[in-house]
Structure 1
Amino acid sequence: MRTSTQFDTATNLTSTTRLPDSLCKHTPKCPTASSPDREAAQVVAAHPEQGWSLLCNALVVFEDTGELLPDGQIIAPHRPFATA
């Protein structure tokens, strides 16, 4: 499980919330973020105007084909080469 830390300005207190490792609630389960086919997971939040989407395996995919893994690792864009 991952954690999320939030600061409440009204009380000046910090709270930590446990986050699920996966947002996948359907059957069959989507590939995990560490799987080679991780991009096949379903979209749970799309923001095309900003150029990114959140997949149910907690992977953020960008319009340029770059990726941000749940552990913070960055996957460089990997567009296919154009054919002549």
Structure 2
Amino acid sequence: MCSHQPLCPSADSSDRDAARIVAFHPEQGWNLLCNGAIVFDDTGELLPDGSIVAPSRLAVAA
């Protein structure tokens, strides 16, 4: 999907979040990256193949 140089990381690479944003929807809480991944404000992701990446949660000390 990426047409600029240098090419963005693919959606299946560990640094996929470094890809450029091509659609910005802060009112809905998500962004579409040029590698096809959808990144949500809660840090969850939906990848182009339909798989999900669960939101990362920080441990809270009691």
Fold match by TM threshold 0.5? yes
Higher relative contact order (CA 8 A, sep 6+): 2
In structure 1, the partner of 2:19 is: 41
Q: How many residues align?
A: 61
Larger Rg: 1
SS in 1 for 2:17: helix
Gaps of at least 5 residues in structure 2 are: none
Question: Which residue, out of 16, 28, 50, partners 1:72?
Answer: 50
- Counterparts in 2 of 1:73 and 1:28: CA distance versus 1, 3 Å: same
Residue identity over aligned pairs, in percent, reads 62
Q: Which runs of 4+ in 1 moved over 3 A?
A: 79-83
Q: What CA RMSD, in Å, does the superposition of the two structures yield over aligned residues?
A: 1.4
Greater per-residue strand proportion:
1
In the superposition, the TM-score normalised over structure 2's length comes to: 0.90
